Amino acid sequence: MGNIPEIRNYTFNFGPQHPAAHGVLRLILEVDGETIVRADPHVGLLHRATEKLAESKPYNHTIGYMDRLDYVSMMCNEHGYVLAIEKLLGIAPPVRAQYIRVMFDEITRILNHLLWLGAHGLDIGAMTMFLYAFREREDLLDCYEAVSGTRMHATYYRPGGVYRDLPAQMPQYKVSKWHNEKQVVEMNENRQGSLLDFIWDFTQRFPKRIDEYESLLTENRIWKQRTVGIGVIGPEQAIAMGLTGPMLRGSGVEWDLRKKQPYEVYDQLDFAIPVGATGDCYDRYLVRIEEMRQSNHLIRQCVRWLRDNPGPVMTDNRKVAPPTRLHMKEDMEAMIHHFKLMSEGYCLPEGEAYAAIEHPKGEFGVYLVSDGANKPYRLKIRAAGFPHMAALETLIKGHMISDVVAVLSSLDIVFGEIDR
């Protein structure tokens, strides 16, 4: 007696500055030996009160804040916000703008899934994935830059359409002290035509690249040991926990807003919804890989349509969209419209609307309450990652400490949107 040491559960701190915390997550973990007994995520370290900021600004000023929510799928956030405004205004963008939006939504989905794949691989120990994923992301970020002028925070979608039409010439590299003439010629090889040609070229290369990723991971023994049977969640529980997107589809629920509640032109395009079987980390990986292939397929359909169908990309409703510079010089009314839109913005009719899109991470919803003013009265962002983060404790209870990182990165969380 008396020699038996008292065995207690050990509580320790994970993050907020931890490379596998995907941003700033503080996780209080209680372990019994190596087994997780309790996990208490402390979020909000990146809380910027985006929703309150939006209440103090005219509607269009907030589009830029949307990019900064989930900063790896920028245009999709804008899309949700813009759709909510359009729903309340009762306007629809021109068809060409809808195709452009769909195309960039899918480009964004690939961007998001690539970053997820790279980070997920890095967390589990497959470092090559990160380098591969960023190689492809570079091309897609160039598409962002070509169309909006910025590589990440695009502010490209506007209520009533998109800011401008796709450029006819893809920007090219110039000779610099880092790249000599020979290199530049090589780098500009697929940039000779328009942006659409560049995207088309990408979609031709990309499926082979996905095969490369898969040849590294899908049948990899270590990868499977780390992900198969880890963080399992069944379909009923996933629905009750509010999981959406690949998290829900990984559990075998065939639910995709692009199919079930189609917006823009998704109902006219051909694509499939991949679903998993067991709802573990491995299935979520497979679902996301297949989603990248489907996105690639969707982008090709959009490129084909956009090549054949020129047209306006912005509504001609001058109470919402500013007139062209040329009009403003000649037309008094156009100038007044421009002045009012740039200073005061536009008012939304009194009411409320909830618009949801299939964001790369799940359902991204925007709940907008308007009292008839030029600013939102209340803007609530239903971030896809928020309920996923809340489900973390359920997912990792009973697992080993090392699985925390695998499960955490399989959630595909970004704190910009969780903390808002």
Partner 1 sequence: MLSIEELSTKVSTRFGRLLEQSILANGELTIVVASQHLQEVCLALRDETAFDFKALMDVCGVDYLQYGISEWETNSATTTGFERGVEVGALQNAPLKQPRFASVYHLLSLTNNQRIRIRVFLNESDLKVPSVVDIWPSANWFERESFDLFGIFYIGHPDLRRLLTDYGFIGHPFRKDFPLIGNVEARYDAKLQRVVYEPVSITPRILEPKVIRRDNRYEVGE
Least gap, CB of 239 to partner 1 (angstroms): 5
3-state secondary structure of 162: strand
Residue that has been written with the tokens 């030029």 in this structure = 374
Kindly indicate which of the ranges 8-16, 73-81, 113-121, 253-261 contains the residues binding partner 1, using the contact rule CB under 8 A: 253-261
Smaller CB distance to partner 1: residue 2 or 90? 90
Smaller CB distance to partner 1: residue 134 or 339? 339
The single residue among 71, 173, 305, 354 that binds partner 1, judged by CB under 8 A, is: 354
Note whether 269 binds partner 1 by CB under 8 A: no
Name every residue whose Cβ is closer than 8 Å to that of residue 123 and which is 6 or more positions away in sequence.
Answer: 20, 405, 406, 408, 409
The single residue among 349, 397, 398, 402 that binds partner 1, judged by CB under 8 A, is: 349
Note whether 378 binds partner 1 by CB under 8 A: yes
How far apart (Å, rounded) are the C-alpha atoms in residues 281 and 283?
A: 6
Restricting to residues 44-73, name those near partner 1 by CB under 8 A.
44, 47, 49, 51-53, 56-58, 61
Note whether 364 binds partner 1 by CB under 8 A: no
Q: Count the Cβ atoms, other than its own, within 10 Å of residue 97.
A: 23
Note whether 353 binds partner 1 by CB under 8 A: yes
- The DSSP secondary-structure symbol of 3 reads -
Restricting to residues 86-105, name those near partner 1 by CB under 8 A.
87-91
Restricting to residues 120-159, name those near partner 1 by CB under 8 A.
none
35-42 and 157-158 strand pairing: unpaired
Smaller CB distance to partner 1: residue 32 or 316? 316
How far apart (Å, rounded) are the C-alpha atoms in residues 79 and 317?
A: 19
Smaller CB distance to partner 1: residue 5 or 90? 90
How far apart (Å, rounded) are the C-alpha atoms in residues 381 and 53?
A: 12
Least gap, CB of 360 to partner 1 (angstroms): 17
Q: What does the H/E/C string look like for 21-73? A: HCCCCEEEEEEECCEEEEEEEECCCCCCCHHHHHHCCCHHHHHHHHHCCCCCC
Name every residue whose Cβ is closer than 8 Å to that of residue 19 and which is 6 or more positions away in sequence.
Answer: none
Smaller CB distance to partner 1: residue 136 or 419? 419
Note whether 234 binds partner 1 by CB under 8 A: no
Name every residue whose Cβ is closer than 8 Å to that of residue 202 and which is 6 or more positions away in sequence.
Answer: 139, 140, 143, 190
Restricting to residues 383-412, name those near partner 1 by CB under 8 A.
386-387, 389-390, 394
The single residue among 269, 335, 373, 401 that binds partner 1, judged by CB under 8 A, is: 373
**Is residue 364 a contact partner of residue 82, using CB atoms and an 8 Å limit?**
no
Note whether 317 binds partner 1 by CB under 8 A: yes
**Is residue 16 a contact partner of residue 31, using CB atoms and an 8 Å limit?**
no
How far apart (Å, rounded) are the C-alpha atoms in residues 405 and 126?
A: 13
Smaller CB distance to partner 1: residue 46 or 228? 46
Number of residues in contact with partner 1, rule: CB under 8 A?
A: 61
Note whether 114 binds partner 1 by CB under 8 A: no
Query: Which chain residues interact with partner 1 by CB under 8 A?
Result: 43-44, 47, 49, 51-53, 56-58, 61, 87-91, 236, 239-242, 244, 253, 255, 260-261, 317, 319-320, 343-347, 349-354, 356, 363, 365, 367, 369, 371-375, 377-378, 380, 382, 386-387, 389-390, 394, 419-420
